[in-house]
Structure 1
Amino acid sequence: MIKQSDKITNARTGQVMVFLKTGAETNGEILRIECFSPPTAAKEPEHIHPLQESKFEILSAALTFSIAGKETIVRAGQSVTIPANVPHFFWNSGDSTAHYIQEFRPALGIDGFFETFFALSNDGKLNDKGIPNLLHGSIIMLKYKNEIRVTKPPWLLQYLTYIVLAPIGRFLGYRADYQSTQGVVK
């Protein structure tokens, strides 16, 4: 379980997260993370946070966002808030590492999702688009369905696929929470 001051790194994108406030420590009110994202062509899949607002406060450099299909660059000294259920993704298209504070309200279990996906990345268990195999992904995405969903294919099709495949994945030993062989940096 992620705690305040824990640090995780995503081997695929180079993104680093340092947890400043966690949902467990704020009674679910907020997750606040200090993040560093180096320049990369690797983009996360377009997704939504069905029940959470997410905010980015850029401290240095810039991030490029696609929000509801509109691309915008948010620079140092600026912030952007993405309402719940709005399709988005972001990346660093610049030439220096972006430093920013990211917040999620309410926190829900998104910190567990990040811990799981960063661990999968570090152990080489994500494809070049940042997705685990479908059996493992089905279990994870069912657990975190209130925190995050990819926008394609449509949610109903995803949900039905996950419901069918998750029992097979569990039978094969996959779990919703994945711990890296490298662990969390304290």
Structure 2
Amino acid sequence: MEIEALPTLLTSPRRVHYVGPERVEVLLSTDETDGQFGMFTSDVPPASGPPPHVHERESETLYVASGRFEFWVDGETVVCDPGQVAHVPAGVPHTFRNLSEHESRLVVVVAPGGFEGYFAAVGTPEPGVVDGEVVERLMAAAPDFHIAFLPPPSAAGAR
């Protein structure tokens, strides 16, 4: 059986969401990939990153487009520079942090798709700060997107 693949070209405006100061732009959603994956960029401020967490159903592949990031994956820490990739299988605890003195960019692919919808659910159209209201939105939406938040890596035995 021959399968014909047609490219998906985005002609609509980009979908940009802010989670606190972090800018997330959805490039491809699960609807545009027939559920296979979601793709987005994440512009991360210096010394920032998400709390440790687990994606219960998605693997996550993070390409460092600019800056330097420290990744903590299942108790191991690695530093990645531009052009390097970190891959996190589904169900594995992880987090990352921007080590640069400037905003830095990740290009992220999650498979299967769907997680990228989290940013529409919790984000805002303008940058802000991570305060109690933002944390409350993050925690409330997490179960809908199969995310479990964890204690900080230092509490979990990382360096």
Category of TM-score, reference length = shorter chain: 0.7 to 0.9
- Residue of structure 2 in register with 1:27 after alignment: 34
Q: Could you state the TM-score of these two structures normalised by the residue count of structure 2? A: 0.75
Provide the C-alpha distance between the structure 2 equivalents of 1:22 and 1:29, rounded to a whole number of angstroms.
9
* Matching residue within 37, 40, 43 for 2:44: 37
Q: What is the identity, as a one-letter code, of the residue corresponding to 1:98?
A: S
Q: Does 1:15 align with 2:17?
A: no
Pairing of 1:3-152 with structure 2 (within 5 A): 5-11=14-20, 14-40=21-47, 42-108=48-114, 110-119=115-124, 126-127=131-132, 131-132=135-136, 137-138=139-140, 140-144=141-145, 146=146, 148-152=147-151
RMSD: 2.7
- Counting strand residues as a fraction of each chain, which structure ranks higher? 2
1:22-48 CA-partner distances (Å, limit 9, x unpaired): 1111111111112211213x4422110
Of the two structures, which has the highest relative contact order with CA contacts closer than 8 Å and spacing of 6 or more? 2
Q: What is the identity, as a one-letter code, of the residue corresponding to 1:131?
A: V
Q: Could you state the TM-score of these two structures normalised by the residue count of structure 1? A: 0.65
Identity among equivalent positions (%) equals 18
- Gaps of at least 5 residues in structure 1 are 153-186
- Gaps of at least 5 residues in structure 2 are 1-11, 152-159
Distance 1:124 1:37, change over 3 A: closer
Number of positions where the alignment pairs a residue of Structure 1 with one of Structure 2:
140
